[in-house]
Each structure stands twice: as structure tokens, then as C-alpha cells.
Structure 1
Amino acid sequence: MSRWKPSKAELLAAAGKTVPDVIAPGLRVLFCGINPGLYSGATGHHFARPGNRFWPALHAAGFTSRLLAPHEEQELLDCGCGITNLVERATATAADLAAAELAAGRPRLEAKVRRYAPRFVAVLGVGAYRSAFGRRQAGLGPQAERLGEAMLWVLPNPSGLNAHYQLDELAALFRELRLAAEATG
């Protein structure tokens, strides 16, 4: 359990580190982040930086019965959800990633989808989705294409750096996905 706050030196040392997937067969939703930030790389937990709205949006949307902390991420599996990333290496910001890295993330994600068969894959970041999937005009919400058998959905990046969406807006968009996932069984 990582609840400590990493020092500046520990954050800088986290560049390039990876964070293990939270994944299991047959999930309702596999959330796919862009890549771990340095805080996640340092702590070993997804969406760990204070100010990231992933965990609050997930709870407000009804995916979890209570607000989970990043170190409790394994509890997501009990909710039928998991987490992976398009790019595995931790960086200070997603802007540090090359378009080729995002594009290379798609086949890795496809392999995970074939192996674990989630019903939905929710990519967290429309820009990352556009780059990785070559869909320059893609918007938020359900996508026409599938990833293997999984339905694709695009949600905003919940990073605190993404000021375009407030928590209530994120929660409403996450809730649409939850309702769609529940409607499919």
C-alpha cells in the first residue's frame, strides 16, 4: 500500500517506470489511460497524483460504491472494471509522448482486449485516442469501431491538468458509459 508522498527526487526518478495493469478476464469496462504520470510511476498506482479526478469521477458516476484511493485500485476488479495504459512508461506529462508511441500502444491494447475480453474499452483522452487509432475527427462517447469484440468509448482525460472538464461534467460522461455497460448485461 502506497500512501506516502514521493519527494521531488523520487518523482524525477520515476521517469520511465511502469505501473502494473489492474486487469482480469471478462471485465465490464477496461479504462485505458494515456500513460502513467511521474506520481503514478513513483507510487506504483494508477491516477495517483492528488488532483487527478479519475477516482472521484468513477465514484460519482456510480462505478464504485465509495471513493477509492489509488492504493485501493485492485478493488476495481470487484466492480467489473480495470485499468491499463496506451503507453507504459511514466512521463511528467502526456505531451512528452511521441505520436509513434501512442500509435504503438494500439496493438498492445488490442492484445490485452483479445486476452481479457472486456465488454467496453474506455480510452481516457480524446487526443490520445485520435493519435493511437488514427481517427482525427473522433469525439467523446461511443465510437463506431470496436476493438476486437469490445465496444470503444472515449472519455476526457481526468488529469487535473485538463481544465476543460470540471468534476461534475466528467462524472456525467463516465455515468453515460456505466449506463451503457449495464444495459449490455
Structure 2
Amino acid sequence: MQEVADVIAPGLRVLFCGINPGLVSAATGHHFARPGNRFWPALHLAGFTPRQFRPDEQKELLELGLGITNVVPRPSARADELTKAELIAGGEQLVEKVLEYQPQWLAVVGVTAYRDAFGERKAAMGEQTRRIGETRVWILPNPSGLNAHYTLPKLAATYAELQRVSGG
């Protein structure tokens, strides 16, 4: 397995933050690489990308002012395999990364991971009151196929809301 490097640059419009890489992502080195993951289709349907990108095209996001990182760098088959300590440590490292790169928005995909990483038990989907420096924070649903409550159209609609408020 290889490290899944951040797709990041200073001053992005939106830095998407996954929970941690899955095993397919770790094997390929590309974010949201598992075939059943709906991140790439949701991103396109929401209007963030002009077409549906493949995971191996992830660096093209930078040209659109978008990037990807993770709360926890350790790959696992399922996000629920992570410990709370890993999520808390990952949240601290994420804050440092956001302060360094200063995206306009940090979009965390997964409300439970956000709650654990930042100790905000009552956090809900959408814009948060928390700011990291000047960066505004938004929580999106996890696009994993395991999150069956969110159909692709519903996911895309929630992503489109961020697309509208972030000036896309």
C-alpha cells in the first residue's frame, strides 16, 4: 500500500477532507478510488467539475481551486476501524494544515468523524460556526457506498449547496 498524498495548494476555494483512505485508495494512491464511492459523481453533479473525473485525475482539481486531504492518513477497510485517539490527533493535524494552506472552505465528508475529530458532539450537516483561521467549515455526507441513506441525487444536492455558497 502506498501513501495517498494530499491534493492541496495554498488558497483553494474548497479543500475536501475525507475521513481516511480506503484500501483501494491506498493501493492506487488516489482519493475516493473504490468503484462504489460516489464522491466523483457527486462532485460533478453538484457543479464542482465540468465532467466526472476519475480518481487518477485528482490533481486536475487544483486547476478548479479544489483539493483533497484526509482527517487520518492511515488506510483501513472501513472508517469505523479508526480509534477516537486517531481522529482527535488527525483533527489537530488538519487544523495545522488548514492554517498553513488557508482554503476558503474546509468540507469534511462525514459528520461522525467531524464530531470525533473536533469534539463537537452536536455538529450537523452544513456550515459550522467553527472557523480555522479565516477558513469556513462545512460538513458533507460521506460519499461511501456504505452510507446508503444518501442516494447519489441526495448527495449531489448537499454538495451543490456548498458549491453555491462557496462561489462556484
Q: Which residue of 97, 101, 116 maps to 2:101?
A: 116
Structure exhibiting the larger radius of gyration computed from Cα positions: 1
Q: Please report how far the alpha carbon of residue 107 of structure 1 lies from its aligned counterpart in structure 2 after TM superposition.
A: 1.5
Give the paired residue count. Answer: 168
* 1:63-107 Cα deviation digits (max 9, x unpaired): 000000000000000111000000001101001100110011111
Q: Secondary structure at the match of 2:69?
A: strand
Opposite residue 144 of structure 2, the aligned amino acid is S
Opposite residue 116 of structure 1, the aligned amino acid is Y
Opposite residue 127 of structure 1, the aligned amino acid is T
Opposite residue 56 of structure 1, the aligned amino acid is P
How many Å separate the matches in 1 of 2:146 and 2:62? 27
Q: Secondary structure at the match of 2:123?
A: coil
- Partner residue, 1:136: 121
How many Å separate the matches in 2 of 1:135 and 1:65? 34
Superposed CA RMSD? 0.9
Q: Secondary structure at the match of 2:158?
A: helix
Q: Which residue of 49, 53, 59 maps to 1:68?
A: 53
For structure 1, which runs of at least 5 residues remain unmatched after alignment?
1-13
Opposite residue 99 of structure 2, the aligned amino acid is R
For structure 2, which runs of at least 5 residues remain unmatched after alignment?
none
- Partner residue, 1:42: 27
Opposite residue 37 of structure 1, the aligned amino acid is G
Identical residues among aligned pairs (%): 61
Dislocated runs of 4+, deviation >2 Å = none
- Partner residue, 2:39: 54
Q: Secondary structure at the match of 1:146?
A: strand
